[in-house]
Structure 1
Amino acid sequence: MESAQHLIMLALQASIFLIVLVIGLGATMNDATYVLKRPGLLIRSVLSINVIVPLFAVLLALALPLSHVAKAGILLMAISPFPPFIPASELKAGGRQSYVYGLLVAISLLAIVIVPLTVALLNVIVPAAISISPAAVAKLVFTSLFLPMGIGMAIHRFAPAFSERAAPIISKIANIILIVAIIPVLIAVWPEMHKLIGNGTVLAIAAVNLVGLLAGHLLGGPDPRDRTVLAISSASRHPVIALTIATAINAEPQVKAAILLFVIVGLLVSAPYQKWRKRAHPDSPANANAPVKAE
């Protein structure tokens, strides 16, 4: 059983690695440094994704009589950066490629420091929820986000024709691996996930997602397309990182169930917002890289 779980986690990590690699294959250096070159946008993005959402999750964990496994699952998701499969949704909803990819690069880079610090703080504030070495988290964030992005961008820089041909093939492989790996996980945790429905956990998760959408929309700046990107990024979290941390700390199956429940609820909560933003910018693909004033 343990060997099977280990293989599933490796498959999930491999799929995320390949998805980020594909993003790197399509990103230019200007895309990668777009947010880093704009301190105002960077600060607002970090505030929304890495401060407001985790802080609200902590307040919920302290204020609500949720089970400790529900609290651990919510907190693990709250501290995990937004997942690399979200950029596709952001682009469809009207986001500009430069900000979408630039935000992923910036948050991935900063997460190497921010996520371990957040874990360390949570160990003090809610000691029973999460206990893992910050160094282990830093290694996880680096290998799953920053490293594949860097490899993909390097390939794009030195072999652009190859990266263009390889990207769709790698993307299909990554999606197949992700689906194959996630199905047994969902089947295994469904009984425990079902127990979390009706005890306030779903409402707490929905509240965290709504706060993320609101914070990102308000802090996204004057460009409505950037508001869309930051809102979706703030509400969406990285389940593979959260699941990997849960596995590393030998968390109960209920914690993994809470993590996956967070993903499902988050998709349902964010869907109306994404449809609204897509209707607000029906011509967004043509203007996805339109220039905006630097901050």
Structure 2
Amino acid sequence: MTLPGVVSLAFAVSLFVLVLALGLKTTLDDVTFLFRNPGLLIRSILAMNVILFALVVLASVMFDLDPAIKIALVALAVSPVPPLLPGKQISAGGAAHYAVGLLVAAAIVAIFLVPISIEVMEYAFPFQLHISPSKVLSVIVLSIFAPLILGMIIARLAPDFAERIGPPLSSMAGVLLLVALIPTCVSAWPDLWRLVGDGVVLCLILFTAIGLLVGHLLGGPDAGNRTVLALASGTRHPGIAMAIAGLNFPDEPGVAALIVYHLVIGALVSAPYIRWRVHLGRRLS
């Protein structure tokens, strides 16, 4: 296996293990939380996949951005919550039931919403875009549904074992993710550097910052919910975004670089917000 193949496998395994560890402490009530709170579900989808999507389309039409930037921003805007996010949301003071519920609900909605949004994009861009629901489903099943359900089954059958292995699994997955990201970012750097002069870094910063703002405003009166939705709106599933870009623009390497660096830049931009929410939570407790 080549080095890129090893890195890609390590990245996929790290995300799988992260969600598996999350599933070890997840209940059925957590999974179904948003479907029992339709008002919050609607606001969540509105913040993540409607408002931010509309802003990306507007910016793409109004400004003369490099095609790679437009494609990457569109792919990110229609993608659901990334598997690595719930742990960060909960650590920042978000409610676990909302963080897990949003991961599941956004993934289910994405199966239908991503292809529809991509078709809508044809009216704003002079090129054809497509992705089938089955492709979205396959990525979501492997990265979210399968590890989450497996973790819940283990917790149900062996609760003591699940409690013991949860923390070391999360730590192992975090280290593996870091190991996978470093060579990925290094290999993608030349493609990113080629686009730096076109405002690519500013675009990625604004995507996360505006997502944080929109999610925070639509999160409702509960402070924890605001935190969860803000982080979800500013960070997206790299696997779905990569699938959209790979199917439609396999010869545009800059797109993959932008999606990879969105994780890095998004984490940096989100850090002050997370510190603020943690500090606020300590004051309120």
TM-score, normalized by the shorter chain, greater than 0.5:
yes
Structure 2 counterpart of 1:119: 118
| 1:70 matches 2:75 | no
Q: Any conservation in 1 of the 2:22–2:87 contact (CA below 8 Å)?
A: no
Q: Which runs of 5+ in 1 are unaligned?
A: 288-295
Per-residue CA deviation, residues 47-75 of structure 1 (Å, 9 max, x unaligned), is 11121122211221222111111111111
Aligned to 2:252: 252
Q: Is the 8 A contact 1:9 1:244 kept in 2?
A: no
Paired letter, 2:281? H
Q: Which residue of 1 aligns with 2:224?
A: 225
Q: Is the 8 A contact 2:81 2:102 kept in 1?
A: no
**1:229 Cα offset (Å):** 1.1
Higher mean C-alpha deviation, range 179-188 or range 6-15: 6-15
The residue correspondences of 1:62-211 to structure 2 (distance < 5 A) are: 62-126=61-125, 128=127, 130-211=129-210
Cα separation, partners in 2 of 1:66 and 1:129, compared to 1, 3 Å: farther
Q: What TM-score, normalized by structure 2, do the two folds share? A: 0.90
Corresponding residue SS for 2:198: coil
Map Cα deviations across residues 69-88 of structure 1 (whole Å, 9 max, x no partner).
11111111222212122222
Q: What does residue 293 of structure 1 align with? A: none
Change (3 A) 1:126 1:17: farther
Q: Percent identity?
A: 40
Q: Hey, what's the Cα distance between the residues in 2 that align with 1:67 and 1:243?
A: 18
| RMSD of aligned residue pairs (Cα, Å) | 2.2
Distance (Å, rounded) in 2 between the aligned partners of 1:247 and 1:14: 20
Q: Is 1:78–1:237's contact at 8 Å kept on the other side of the alignment?
A: yes
Describe the superposition over 1:106-151 as per-residue Cα deviations: whole angstroms up to 9, x where unpaired: 2122222222322333345435374433421222122211222122
Q: CA distance change for structure 1 residues 266 and 115 in 2, over 3 Å: closer, same or farther?
A: same
Counterpart Cα distance in 1 of 2:128 and 2:208? 20
2:39 corresponds to: 40
User: CA contact under 8 A between 1:54 and 1:79: conserved in structure 2?
Assistant: yes
Structure 2 vs 1, CA of residues 17 and 45 (structure 1 numbering), >3 Å: closer, same or farther?
same
Count how many residue pairs are aligned between Structure 1 and Structure 2: 284
Unaligned runs of 5+ in 2: none
Aligned partners of 2:109, 2:238: CA distance in 1, in Å?
18
Partners of 2:119 and 2:139 lie apart in 1 by 15
Q: Quote the Cα distance in structure 1 between the aligned partners of 2:35 and 2:204.
A: 30
Amino acid at match of 1:267: A
Paired residue secondary structure (1:80): coil
Given the two structures, how large is their TM-score scaled by the length of structure 1? 0.87
